[in-house]
Structure formats: C-alpha cells, structure tokens
Structure 1
Amino acid sequence: MGMNKSNLERSVSSVGSQKTRSLALGEKAFNIANYSFFILFMLLCVYPFYYIFINTISDNTLSARGQIMFWPEGIHFNNYLQVLQIPNIYHALLISLLRTLLGTLLTVLVSGFLGFMMTQRKMWLRRFVYRYFITTMYVSGGIIPIYLLYNQLGLLDNFLVYIIPGMVSAFNLILVKTYVESSVPDELQESAEMDGAGIGVVFFRIVLPLMMPILATLAIFSAVGQWNSFMDTVLYVTKDDLHTLQYVLYRYLSQATALANAVNSGSMAAEDVGTSVQTAQSIKLTVTMIVVIPIFMVYPFFQRFFVKGIMIGAVKG
C-alpha cells in the first residue's frame, strides 16, 4: 500500500514537472515572438525618419536618384546650412516658438478650467453649455465667416490669431471632463468648500495638481498643432514679421521645386546649378527634419503623462 502511494506521488510529481517545463517553453516561445514583433514594429516606425535623415546629409545627386537607402554616402551638412541661411528664418523661428509656448500654456489652462467647470452640477446651464461646445465638433461656419469674424475682432495680421482661436477645443473639453469625473474624488472639493474655499481655490490648489497627466496630454496635442500649423498664416497674416517658421519653409520649398523644374526642363544647365545646390527632394527632406526635430525633443518628457492621461480619461468608474 505504501509502495503504491509513493509511486502515485512520483507519477504526479513527474506530470507536474512536465507541465511546468511545457509551460516554461511555451512562455519562452511567446516572449520571443512578442519581442520579435515589437522590435520589427519599432524598426518600421523608426526607419522613415532614419531614411529622411541620411538623405539630408548624403550627396544630393545620389539622394535624388534614390540610391540612399540604409547608410549615408558623401556626407555633408550643406542642406542644413543653406536652409538656415533663408532670410528672416530666425525671426520666423522665434514667432513659432512664441506661439507654441504661449498657445500651449493658455490652451492647457483654459481647457483645464472649462473641463473642470463642466463637472460642477451647480453650474448654471451646465448641460446646455457643454452640448453647445460638443456641437462645434460637427458644425462649422466655414472659412469665409471665420475670416469675417476675425476681421471684426481685429485678429487679422495680429499675433493673437495664433493663440485665441485654439484656446478652447471641444475635444480637449471632453478629455478633461472625463478625467476629472473618473479620477478626482468629489469629497476633496466638498471638504475644501466646507473650509471656505471658492471655486478658484478648489481648481488651482486641489484639482489642478491632480490633473497633470491629462494636462500633459493636452500640452502634447496643442504643442504639435501649434508648431506644425501654417495655414492660419496663409489665411490671416500678411505681415512678414508675423510669418512662422513653417510658412517660411513652405515658401522656400516652393522656390526650390521651381528651381529643380527649371533644371529638368533644360532652361538651366545642370553645371550652372552645381551638385552642392539643393534639389527639390533634398529641400523637402531637410525641411521635414527641421520641423520634426523639436517635437522629437519634447515628446519623450511628456510620454509617460500622455499614456496615463489617455488611459485614465478613457475609463469611467
């Protein structure tokens, strides 16, 4: 009887160890496949930017022929040096930096406060105001009415045309409202109000510090939008001293394309242009890198807040 029991225990132990080894092998296989997939996905995401960069520092003739694929050839930095010699580019860079910093700061503050107010049940006509903002996501007056409105408000050829229109967004309002309702306990505000705190004190001293993840998310959205925007310059600004970096580079890109077309049509000899002069493709790629680099530098600092803000703001309860 004792022998049968020990044999049974050994057989059970053997089966358990086999299952453990099988599970360990399966887990290792899954991890290998998982890591391989994400490494491949990462390479697919990184390669386009790597491709653009190596083409901006390679021989422009080889780049125009599509011969630069994996590593640079004939390395030089003339493309960047020539782009940085564009007239008024540094002033345009200053305008872009100012509109990005001020626009992002005010958008975050205004959207944060309005989103918080949309959670206040005692706010007069709260539901109507919130639905009014949501309606603007689907209904727009069009470019001409907006242009006439900006003209009446004195925003044409005014730096504030870059700041004021983007301060309030229905999408940002939804994100903040959902985040506050799901992540900020009502008891905090109630206890503060019992101590005599007003709505401003509650927002800036209690709620605002708890909203950092969603505010960082809004900051990323706003900063990227402000930095990349140039159509508002095209439509509403004629003064040269208010042109943004993206608009100046856009004009320069158009001129470079015309130059390349002149060479290809034979109206200008290739020897007259020279291999050191940028081609249309080198202009496009260099401009792309100059515009993208600042966002690359800022995004890693906000990434962890971005992920947390989106996830928490998307789940209620």
Structure 2
Amino acid sequence: MAQTAKTIKSKEDKIFDVVNTIFLTLICLAVLYPLYFVIIASISNPNMVYNGEVWLFPKEITFEGYKRIFSDPKIWLGYKNTVIYTVVGTVVQVSLTLMAAYALSRKDFYGKSFFMMVILFTMFFNGGLIPTYLVVKDLGMLNTVWAMILPKAVAVWNLIVARSFFEENIPNELLEAGKIDGCSNTKFFLKVVLPLSKPIIAVMVLFYAVGQWNSYFDALIYLNDESLYPLQLILRNILTQNQLSVKMLSDLDNLAAQQQVGEIIKYGIIIVGALPLLIVYPFVQRHFVKGVLIGGVKG
C-alpha cells in the first residue's frame, strides 16, 4: 500500500514555527488580558481592586457593581436608545447602500464612472465637522433620532464592497432575461437581486449594526437632550468625565468608599456596553471575513 508522503520540515522551518507560535501567543495575551482583567475586576472586592491586589483571579467575588449599574435608569434609557438607533439606522443604511451599489454595478447606467468618482472623492475629502454640523442644524435634525442616522447613512467602503458583489454575482444576462419576461428594474431588484444577495446583505447588516452600536461621537456633537443619549455616550461620560450617577453611590457617605466602588462600577460599565457584541460576534465572525474577501475581489 502506498503510504502518504509526510512533509519533512527543515530546521529553519521548525525554528520559524516555534518563534511564530510564541509571537502570536504573546499578541493574543496582550489583546485578551485587558478584557479578562476588566471582567475579574468588575466582580471582585472593590477594596482589593483599588489596592491593586487583583491581577490574575477575582477575589471575594461580588456583583455589587452590576447591581448599582442596573439600578441607574440612565443605563436602561441608553440601552433603549442604542437599540432604536441600531435597528432603524441599520435598516436605512443597508437599504440605501444596496440600492446605490446595485445602480452603480449596472453596465447600462450612463455616467456611473462619474458618480463613482464623486462618491470616492468624499471618502478621502469631506467638508469637515463645522460645515457638517451646520447642514444638520439647518435641516432641523439636531436633538432628533435622524441626527444619529442620516449623516452617515452610506459608508463609501461598504458601497464599494456591495457594488463588487453585484458585479461578480449578478450577471447581465439575468437582467436581460427578466426584461424579456416584462420585469421592471424595481421588480428585478426586489424579486431577483435581493434573494441572490443574502451573503452581502448579512455582511452589510453586520458592519452597519456594529458601527451604530459603538457610535457615540455623533451623539456628542448633535444631541443635547440627555433622554436621547445612546448607551455609549453615557458610558463615555462615566469613564472619561467620572460622571457617576448620584443614585449609584447614594448610600455611601465616605469619599474613599465612593472612589473604591466607583472603580468597579467603571469596570462593570465597560462589560455592560460590550457584552451584546461579545455574545453575538462568535456566531457572525465568518461574515466579517466574507466581507473582506468580497471587497478584495474588485474595487
């Protein structure tokens, strides 16, 4: 019987594998340890965290920080606002991106090169923060949901990725066959193109939803009403400006105790803000890879 030939590695190859494994392991540790530390610090005794005694394992496990976090109505309000912005924003963004990308992928679209150049120009150059703010203000979108959605309704890179997918996977002959059967452009897009574009739709939903969930800068610029603040802006104010709710620390009279409990609250808030994405990401990470591959086929 013929035996399967085994690949014989040279000494240099073995050394390279060992060095590469060590290097990648160190990178993984550098990336994962901060997240691990935040998790164990958020459930450890605040005195030990404050004194620097927690670094590898949690000590005197307590969920006091999470109890105080979820007792604050601002956190729940931020969650609600973020869910609304993410759902509505993703629907609007994906719809506009797919429609524009499909139009730009059509060979019979006169002037598509010109429009594509104009769109690409905005990817590298824009009007700046102040002109954009003035446009949003003049359109009456300040302190509204639309200020969080419309100014970034279409991302140029996502548009390029979707256009590449349509060019590679929707043959022109399919459109010609549809026209012979009396199919209009709109009907062809809705009945034929979209059912065949489930992979790119999943990629676009993922890209836009993650971006919308993590967004806080637009809210910082366009929103003054705290009842409209997304979760990320509330967390940002707590983490960077130490704006802990009075209700979180109302039963603590000692300033030192407030500082110690405040530390584990901050760690817990980081987990609260990132937890939904941490839960979802392992199930959808293949779509991130697929999106990169699709975008790399044709620019």
Give yes or no for TM over 0.5: yes
Partner of 2:287: 305
Residue correspondences, number: 290
Q: Which residue of 2 aligns with 1:132?
A: 118
Partners of 2:236 and 2:291 in 1: CA distance:
34
Q: Please say which of residues 85-94 and 271-280 is displaced more in the overlay.
A: 271-280
Identity of aligned residues (%): 31
Taking structure 1 as the reference length, the TM-score comes to 0.79
Q: Report the counterpart of residue 203 of structure 1 in structure 2.
A: 189
**How much does 1:293 deviate?**
0.5
The answer on whether the counterparts of 1:179 and 1:312 sit within 8 Å (CA) in structure 2 is yes
Q: Structure 1 229/316 Cα, relative in aligned 2: closer, same or farther at 3 Å? A: closer
| Residue matched to 1:9 | none
Structure 1 residue 93: Cα displacement: 1.2
Alpha-carbon spacing, 1:38–1:199, altered in 2? closer, same or farther (3 Å): farther
Is the counterpart of residue 80 in structure 1 residue 72 in structure 2? Answer: no
Residue number among 112, 128, 141 corresponding to 1:155 in the alignment = 141
Shift of 1:90: 1.5
Deviations 1:160-181 (A, max 9, x none): 1111122112111111111221
Q: Measure the CA separation in 1 of the matches of 2:291 and 2:75.
A: 36
In the aligned structure 2, how far is the partner of 1:185 from the partner of 1:90?
47
Question: Once the two structures are superposed, what CA deviation does each residue of 1:125-177 show, in whole Å capped at 9, x if it has no partner?
Answer: 21221111111111111111111111111101111111112211211111111
Distance 2:286 2:240 in 1: 38
Shift of 1:123: 1.9
Partners of 1:183 and 1:312 within 8 A in 2: no
Q: Is the 8 A contact 1:213 1:306 kept in 2?
A: no
**8 Å contact from structure 2 (residues 235, 270) kept in 1:** no
**Is the alpha carbon distance of 1:21 and 1:143 closer, same or farther for their aligned partners in structure 2, counting shifts above 3 Å?**
closer
Correspondence for 2:273: 291
Instruction: Name the structure 2 match of 1:102.
Output: 88
Q: 2: distance between equivalents of 1:212 and 1:301? A: 16
SS in 2 for 1:136: helix
- RMSD after superposition: 3.3
| Residue segments in structure 2 that go unaligned for 5+ positions in a row | 246-251
Per-residue deviation, 1:25: 11
Distance 1:82 1:70 in 2: 24
Unaligned runs of 5+ in 1: 1-12, 260-269
- Which residue number corresponds to residue 184 of structure 1? 170
CA distance in 2, matches of 1:195, 1:294: 46
State the alpha-carbon separation in 2 of the partners of residues 243 and 257 from structure 1.
Answer: 14
Q: 1:257: Cα distance to partner?
A: 7.0
Structure showing greater Rg: 1
Look up the equivalent residue of 2:254 and give its one-letter code. D
Deviation for aligned residue 1:277: 6.0
Contact 1:158/1:237 (<8 A) preserved: yes
Q: RCO (CA 8 Å, sep 6+): is it higher in 1 or 2?
A: 2
